Structure 1
Amino acid sequence: MKSLKEYNIQFVGLKLGKHHFDYQIDKKFFEHFEYDDFNDVNVKVDLFLEKKTTLLELQFKVTGNANVNCDTSNEPYDQEIEGEFNLVVKFGDEYNDENEDILIVPHGEYEINVAHYIYELIILSMPVKRIHPGIEDGTLQSEILERLEELSPKGSEEKEQTEEIDPRWNTLKKLLTDK
């Protein structure tokens, strides 16, 4: 993965207090990570950085949409993306990112790259199963959906109703109604 220099934040030159950075993410951003599940991406990232004397607090907020293919019908649709993530950057003897909420950087560092955190936040903000809204409300007409409907098991409800009920159960049901 090539380094994404525009996502480097040089915190040494910043004054104590709050700072705002914003980024517009598109499909080219995900090409750096070799991630190709999105057909198209339009996501806005707001990064709020609060510089304190001994640490940095970063708050990421993402909003936008990604054009993805439905897991059921393979039809493309726009999936809304919203997410938040907080990160604390502390200073220590060596680099350590084992904890997902805390990043420890060596004392001599003067910048951090936030591209990977943005990438992870967008990916994790996507639903696990991507369902086209037309499937949920029944308005999507697709050959794949028609074929799935043809191949779905039918008659299981009818079969249960037409099966002969054991007469012993009928006797037990009478006990419930004879109160």
Structure 2
Amino acid sequence: MKKDPQFDLPIARLSLKTHQFAFELGRAFFEQFDPTGEFIADGDLHADVELIKTERVITINSHITGTVRLTCDRSLDEYDHPLDIENKLLVRYSDEAKELDDDVLQVTPDTLELNIAQHLYDYIGLALPMKKLHPRFQNEADDDPDATTKLIFSTRPLGEGPDDDEPADPRWAALKNLN
């Protein structure tokens, strides 16, 4: 991925206080990470980033709102999916630059800028639903809140199953007695 300087936060030049940044995330942003558009085809998002700088730690709070263009898993129709995401990233100073956790980074004291484009993209990707359904199919998925999946086909008649008192095949009963 080519590093986009638009998403660089100049952490070395910032004073010890709270700073505000705003970013528009559209098609060009998503094409940096996924040129084919298989994961996220397009989006119209706004990211408000609050950077709180202290002597030892930088706290970056991000709030991303808007919609992303997704492809329905069932009908392959594209639709706009609304997002409202809030995340916190902690950046601390150390002798070695590395990522300690998903939400904790270490940077060296001589680091001039911190590019947050990858973090914003990851926050958006993690907020997407596992099962992408067009809104017209949402009512079908919400009919039975207790059911995680619906049984479409079964080779057993209803009422027969592994929990029945008698096994389906008497040979299995003989094998149970071998213990």
TM-score (norm 1): 0.74
Of the candidates 82, 90, 100, which is equivalent to residue 80 of structure 1? 82
Structure 1 gap segments, 5+ residues each: 139-151, 162-179
1:110 and 1:128 mapped to 2: Cα distance? 37
SS at match of 1:71: coil
Does the CA-based 8 Å contact 1:94-1:105 persist in structure 2?
Answer: yes
Could you tell me which residue of structure 2 aligns to residue 91 of structure 1?
93
2:158 and 2:70 mapped to 1: Cα distance? 40
SS at match of 2:19: strand
Could you tell me which residue of structure 1 aligns to residue 27 of structure 2?
27
Normalized per residue, which structure has more helix?
1
Distance apart, 1:136 and its partner CA: 2.2
Could you tell me which residue of structure 2 aligns to residue 67 of structure 1?
69
2:105 and 2:118 mapped to 1: Cα distance? 13
Question: 1:1-179 residue pairs with structure 2 within 5 A?
Answer: 1-34=1-34, 36=37, 37-137=39-139
Aligned residue pairs, count:
145
2:50 and 2:5 mapped to 1: Cα distance? 18
Does the CA-based 8 Å contact 2:25-2:43 persist in structure 1?
Answer: yes
SS at match of 1:90: strand
Structure 2 gap segments, 5+ residues each: 141-151, 160-179
TM-score (norm 2): 0.74
1:91 and 1:61 mapped to 2: Cα distance? 24
1:64 and 1:73 mapped to 2: Cα distance? 23
Could you tell me which residue of structure 1 aligns to residue 144 of structure 2?
none
1:104 and 1:153 mapped to 2: Cα distance? 52
Residue type at the aligned position of 2:86: E
Does the CA-based 8 Å contact 1:43-1:65 persist in structure 2?
Answer: yes
Distance apart, 1:2 and its partner CA: 0.6
Distance apart, 1:160 and its partner CA: 5.2
1:43 and 1:92 mapped to 2: Cα distance? 33
Residue type at the aligned position of 1:34: D
Could you tell me which residue of structure 2 aligns to residue 148 of structure 1?
none
